[in-house]
Structure 1
Amino acid sequence: MNIAVIQGSPRSESNSLKVAQFLSESLMSRPGVKTTLVNLKDLNFPNFDDHGELDQAHQLQKALLSADGILFVFPEYNGGMPGAMKNALDYFRAEYNLKPMAATTVSAGPFGGINAWHAFHSWALYVGGILLPNNLKVSNVSSL
């Protein structure tokens, strides 16, 4: 089983990346599980535009298409998903259809990014993802 782990924070010192790396390594410790960690910060997507081909898009598309499931790991920014993450995800649509998806949200506060998770939930249903019932919300992430 191949799981794409998509890290959605645009920050250099990202706590989400630390959590994504931990989860990716934990998943790979299971027999038969392979992960592909994609750090969206490294891909540096420009603002969404339907025109033209992007190398960044091909890298992310390859990870999405080869995945049996997708785990998104991202912080809550002002009650939602990071804009840079949403921008990168908007380059695709068919790649998400009927793909099992889960989210791990992180927050410096006590609620673990619940508002970002709700925004993700709406988006994932809209693009045809199959949402897994269990998701991880990491609160007080800076204390890790």
Structure 2
Amino acid sequence: MADKILVFYGSYRADRMGIRLADYLVARLAARGAQPELIDAKAIGLPMLDRMYKEYPKGTAPQPLEELAGKIRAADGFVFVTGEYNWGPQPGLKNLTDHFLEEWFWRPAAIASYSAGRFSGVRSGTIWHSILSEMGMVVVSSTLAVGPISQTLDAAGEPTGPAGDALERSFGRFADDLAWWTEAARAQRARQAPPF
């Protein structure tokens, strides 16, 4: 059974470099036999959080919110691609995730961070770990940290130079870790309903 993996990306900037990493992850996960789908916060365009999905009476949530809730519930796992803004998470990605809560429960998540500089977004990735845990996901220990992004992936999301080679070497462990937890969580949900 192919893992259904949602890859979330949250930059709203005009010259988005992190989309390269999101595209890379979608392509590499698909090459491994998964069924990844890119969820681009900018393309979905949810408003700043006023009312969570669960706060709408059944059948009255805006269509983009309803569709995304269904995709999240149907997914086996998640990858969050996060840039670093002033040592913290991107507001677009945080806003998108905050529209939901129970939909995330009992599935694994992985974090891939990036930046234009040498710190590769790791400070944002570290913050995301605690956020995702609070939202009911099991965060896998393997991470990807990409930087400088422009020297690691070209505009088509293909690895370039020594930094791209390092990313390729790291991806296998990252994907294996996520796949192990995805299979384990799916098997456990089939065996026993979650406790809440």
Name the % identity. Answer: 29
Kindly indicate whether structure 1 or structure 2 has the higher relative contact order, using CA contacts under 8 Å at least 6 residues apart: 1
Once the two structures are TM-superposed, the CA of residue 59 in structure 1 deviates from its matched residue by 3.0
Q: 1:131 aligns with which of 110, 133, 139?
A: 139
Once the two structures are TM-superposed, the CA of residue 62 in structure 1 deviates from its matched residue by 2.3
Q: TM-score, normalised by structure 2?
A: 0.69
Q: TM-score, normalised by structure 1?
A: 0.92
Partner in structure 2 of residue 4 of structure 1: 6
Q: d(CA) in 1 for partners of 2:87 and 2:62?
A: 29
Alignment check: 8 A CA contact 2:89 2:127 kept: yes
Alignment check: 8 A CA contact 1:3 1:35 kept: yes
Once the two structures are TM-superposed, the CA of residue 114 in structure 1 deviates from its matched residue by 1.1
Alignment check: 8 A CA contact 1:48 1:90 kept: yes
Alignment check: 8 A CA contact 1:10 1:85 kept: no
Matching of residue 17 in structure 1 with residue 19 in structure 2: yes
**Aligned partner of residue 135 in structure 1, secondary structure:** strand
More helix by share: 2
**Aligned partner of residue 132 in structure 1, secondary structure:** strand
Partner in structure 1 of residue 79 of structure 2: 71
Alignment check: 8 A CA contact 1:105 1:137 kept: yes
What's the Cα RMSD here?
Answer: 1.4
Once the two structures are TM-superposed, the CA of residue 7 in structure 1 deviates from its matched residue by 1.0
Gap runs ≥5 in structure 2: 154-196
Once the two structures are TM-superposed, the CA of residue 13 in structure 1 deviates from its matched residue by 2.5
Gap runs ≥5 in structure 1: none
Query: Which structure has the larger Rg?
Result: 2
**Aligned partner of residue 133 in structure 1, secondary structure:** strand
**Aligned partner of residue 101 in structure 1, secondary structure:** strand
Q: Which range moved further: 36-45 or 51-60?
A: 51-60
Q: d(CA) in 1 for partners of 2:95 and 2:8?
A: 13
More strand by share: 1
- TM alignment of 1:1-144, pairs within 5 A: 1-31=3-33, 33-50=34-51, 53-143=61-151, 144=153
Cα-to-partner distance string for 1:27-79 (whole Å, 9 max, x where unaligned)? 10113x11111111101111101165222212322221111000011211111
Q: d(CA) in 1 for partners of 2:147 and 2:65?
A: 31
How many matched pairs?
A: 143
